[in-house]
């Protein structure tokens, strides 16, 4: 199941949700609007690359050190 990023077309809130491709779009958690735009999450695309390409598991970062979490 892919992780999707959504942008509410009413209040511009951004949120993520794990959904099957065939699922209907959720409502905005901030304002409840049903008009949202679905995008594949960039994080979903990077996760496979970061975990398979580096041996920096000792960095303490969940994504192999390729994020801005400061670890």
Domain boundaries, the chain: 3-54
How do residues 23-59 score in pLDDT, each as one tens digit? Answer: 999 999 999 999 999 887 666 555 554 444 444 444 4
What tokens does 55 get?
């041996």
Task: State how far the Cα of 29 lies from the Cα of 10, in Å rounded to an integer.
Answer: 12
- Which has the closest alpha carbon to 31: 14, 16, 17, 11? 11
What tokens does 31 get?
């304002």
Rounded to two decimals, what is the model's pTM? 0.55
Q: Taking residues 61-70, what's their average pLDDT? A: 57
């Amino acid at each position: 199941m892919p992780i999707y990023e959504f942008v509410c077309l009413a209040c511009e809130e951004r949120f993520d949700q794990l959904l099957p491709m065939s699922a209907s779009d959720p409502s905005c958690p901030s304002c409840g609007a049903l008009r949202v735009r679905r995008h594949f999450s960039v994080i979903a695309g990077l996760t496979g690359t970061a975990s398979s390409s580096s041996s920096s598991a000792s960095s303490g970062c969940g994504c192999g050190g390729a994020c801005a979490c400061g670890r």
